[in-house]
Structure 1
Amino acid sequence: MALRFLKKRGYHLIEKNYVCKLGEMDIIAREKDTLAFIEVKTRTSTFFGPPQLAVTSSKQRQLSKVALYYLKEKRLEDVKARFDVVAILLGQEGEEVELIRDAFDLNWP
């Protein structure tokens, strides 16, 4: 669902479920000249808040470490990059998908 949503918005998939020794990144994609590290959060209700609230500061730090590792591993340190979040709410009225571009800044370890 998230991949289809992103492709319709001009994103080109590079990696899905990228795993390294520091953790995992749901999606790595390119949008124009920018590399997007994308976290996907899905919820069936907003009882605990909207899905994007699950990307806590500790999760942001962990994702930052994975992104830095990826950039170094692929020798892409000079590439423009950002963090996006795809928030998916699966409710009784159907699904709501929201893209939050530049959801948070790189958290240096």
Structure 2
Amino acid sequence: MTLQRRRLGIRGENIAASYLQKKGLRIVERNYRCRLGEIDIIARDGGCLIFVEVRTKSTRTFGLPQESITAAKVRKLRRLAQYYLVQRSMGELNVRFDVVAVNCVEDMQITHIENAF
């Protein structure tokens, strides 16, 4: 991954975290990493634990940010979430998967898709 692309990703994650906090969600963890991969943001909304995938784009090439999430990525995120819940002994929580798409083309647009998959 190029340095420019990594910086864009970090910027998008910062924007997404701020956006979610303004909506009243509490950020539990950012960039959770384990042997299976990484979860961008883990947040709480009452009794619900939310695993958030952040996608950021700076060009119109290849569609919208949220369109870049493949079926393989969804499967990976579900496995990561299961691993996280077992490691933290959090089996009884309601869980949901959200996507926050940050489109930095011209005016910045944030799209929050709750229960994305």
Q: TM-score, normalised by structure 2?
A: 0.85
Which ranges in structure 2 are unaligned for 5 or more consecutive residues?
1-14
1:1-109 equivalences in 2 (<5 Å):
1-92=15-106, 94-104=107-117
CA–CA distance in structure 2, aligned partners of residues 91 and 15 of structure 1: 28
More strand per residue: 1
| Residue identity opposite 2:63 in structure 1 | G
More helix per residue: 2
Aligned residues between the structures:
103
CA–CA distance in structure 2, aligned partners of residues 9 and 69 of structure 1: 27
CA–CA distance in structure 2, aligned partners of residues 100 and 17 of structure 1: 19
SS in 2 for 1:84: strand
SS in 2 for 1:15: strand
Cα deviation code 1:25-60 (max 9, x no counterpart): 000000121100000000112321110111110000
CA–CA distance in structure 1, aligned partners of residues 97 and 51 of structure 2: 5
Runs of 4+ in 1 over 6 A off after TM superposition: none
Which ranges in structure 1 are unaligned for 5 or more consecutive residues?
105-109
| Residue identity opposite 1:100 in structure 2 | I
Question: RMSD of the TM alignment (CA)?
Answer: 0.8
Identity %: 41
| Residue identity opposite 1:46 in structure 2 | R
Q: TM-score, normalised by structure 1?
A: 0.91
